[in-house]
Amino acid sequence: MNPRIYFDHSATTPLDPRVLAAMGPFLGGAFGNPSSLHHEGRIAREAVETARAQVASLIGADPDEIIFTASGTEADNLALIGAVRASGRPGHIVTTSIEHAAILETCRFLAESGTKITHLPVDADGLVEHKSLLRALQSNVTLVSIMAANNVVGTLQPIEELAHLTKLHGVLFHTDAVQAAGKIPLDVNRLHVDLLSLSAHKLHGPKGVGALYVRKGVRLSPIVFGGGQERGLRSATENVAGIVGFGAAAAIAREELAGEATRLAQFRERIARELTRALPHSYLFGHPVQRLPGHLSFGLHGQEREVGKLLATLDAAGVAISAGSACSANHSGEPSGVLLAMGYDDEGARGLLRLSLGRFNTQQEADRFLEILPRAVATLNGAATHQQPLRSIDAVPGVLA
Ligand code: PLP
């Protein structure tokens, strides 16, 4: 039986064995509390500070600008709630209509206490237009938060320009870089950002560890209270093994980023080319060029309501892909909020399929996927007249056989 094909790296990534090896000692004998002054504590502290430097280095930051959190979600919460609380006023947050729930739901929470929220529109490729940001900046704004890479369609925002515009108005700029980090080069100084969120499990690190970059001089209030760890911004005994894993994952990602980005982009282009050839009723979502290298989302005209069935058929055939965000309502067949914001109608916004490639994917897996997919699509209702004859291939295991 063929091993499974995992093409859902935007949901999460497998732990790199080198990361696991780095974490090992801190799940065993090296158990100290980094706040303890004795030998055991000092070993843990040293490991946490090494990891802080490794994470900082991935984004061109100083180590003391990195605050470890328990997730990318928590980093987003800390950035937004922390900035509003530090301002001492309900304030005004400008964000986009295609952010992850970690931003959108935090905004909803803040709105309940009087914070004004402006959602910037995006164009059909998922790009924020400068004009709409400029317009929003005419009023009194506390913080602008715009994601670096979209998790559903893979579009990259021009963060450098958007942040520059924002800074000209003296307003704080935050970017959720959870999907971008380790996949495209990020430098907080070149990008002019004040706050930037990261998550370890999206770059072959462990789950349950994130970080917020906080530029020196930026005032933030904590949202978790206690012993004052992480410069008072994130109380709690540090998740030492997780943080060590995050550091190792960041160091590997930094080292391998350029080669991997090229490899995954070529890989993606090949799949996109073959997919649109074999399935002429397919169409691609997101910006054609400004996009994550290993990310491909597509729809099947006339078969939008068959997405759930297609995912199940592929899963049974050994292929893991998704219908957009792992934590969105998409599993329930609801239209994707991101696609609605990009101007797709209700029907079109139901039909998203997402492939996200990663470090351990191979060309052989792409070949197998390109054999399995058209066969799986052929089992669906609708759009039959749009399809080209399928290539004659050997029987595929599972329900497709
Ligand atoms: N932001 C974006 C863009 C994401 O894609 C995700 C996870 O999917 C998050 C934030 C949340 O990160 P975490 O899973 O570490 O809470």
Written as tens digits, the pLDDT of the chain (401 aa) is: 679 999 999 999 999 999 999 999 999 999 999 999 999 999 999 999 999 999 999 999 999 999 999 999 999 999 999 999 999 999 999 999 999 999 999 999 999 999 999 999 999 999 998 999 999 999 999 999 999 999 999 999 999 999 999 999 999 999 999 999 999 999 999 999 999 999 999 999 999 999 999 999 999 999 999 999 999 999 999 999 999 999 999 999 999 999 999 999 999 999 999 999 999 999 999 999 999 999 999 999 999 999 999 999 999 999 999 997 665 544 557 899 999 999 999 988 999 999 999 999 999 999 999 999 999 999 998 764 444 333 222 222 222 22
Domain boundary among 204, 231, 253: 253
Supply the residue whose CA is at minimum distance from atom 12 of ligand 1.
72
**Which residues, including other chains, have CB under 8 Å from residue 50's CB and lie 6 or more apart?**
244, 247
Indicate whether residue 73 lines ligand 1 (CB < 6 A): yes
Ligand 1 pocket: which of 95, 98, 186, 199 to mutate (most atoms within 8 A of CB): 199
Instruction: Say which CATH number the domain at 205 has.
Output: 3.40.640.10
The answer to whether position 156 is within a domain reads yes
The answer to whether position 391 is within a domain reads no
| pLDDT score of 328 | 52
| pLDDT score of 238 | 98
The answer to whether position 266 is within a domain reads yes
Could you tell me the distance, in angstroms and rounded to a whole number, from the CA of residue 384 to the centre of ligand 1? 37
Question: What is the rounded radius of gyration, in angstroms, for the C-alpha atoms of the chain?
Answer: 22
Indicate whether residue 151 lines ligand 1 (CB < 6 A): yes
**Which residues, including other chains, have CB under 8 Å from residue 283's CB and lie 6 or more apart?**
276, 298, 299, 301
Q: Are residues 248 and 271 in the same domain?
A: no
Q: Are residues 224 and 84 in the same domain?
A: yes
Could you tell me the distance, in angstroms and rounded to a whole number, from the CA of residue 39 to the centre of ligand 1? 36
Q: Which residue in 312, 327, 329, 384 is the catalytic one?
A: 327
Domain count across the chain: 2
Instruction: Say which CATH number the domain at 288 has.
Output: 3.90.1150.10
Structure pTM? 0.94
Distance, in Å, from the CA atom of 172 to the CA atom of 46, rounded to the nearest integer, reads 32
The answer to whether position 389 is within a domain reads no
What is residue 15's DSSP assignment? Answer: P
Tell me, yes or no, if 107 is annotated catalytic: no
The answer to whether position 397 is within a domain reads no
The answer to whether position 394 is within a domain reads no
Indicate whether residue 322 lines ligand 1 (CB < 6 A): no
Distance, in Å, from the CA atom of 401 to the CA atom of 396, rounded to the nearest integer, reads 5
* Domain encompassing residue 374: 5-12+257-378
Distance, in Å, from the CA atom of 275 to the CA atom of 93, rounded to the nearest integer, reads 40
Among all chains, which residue has been given the structure tokens 């506390």? 142
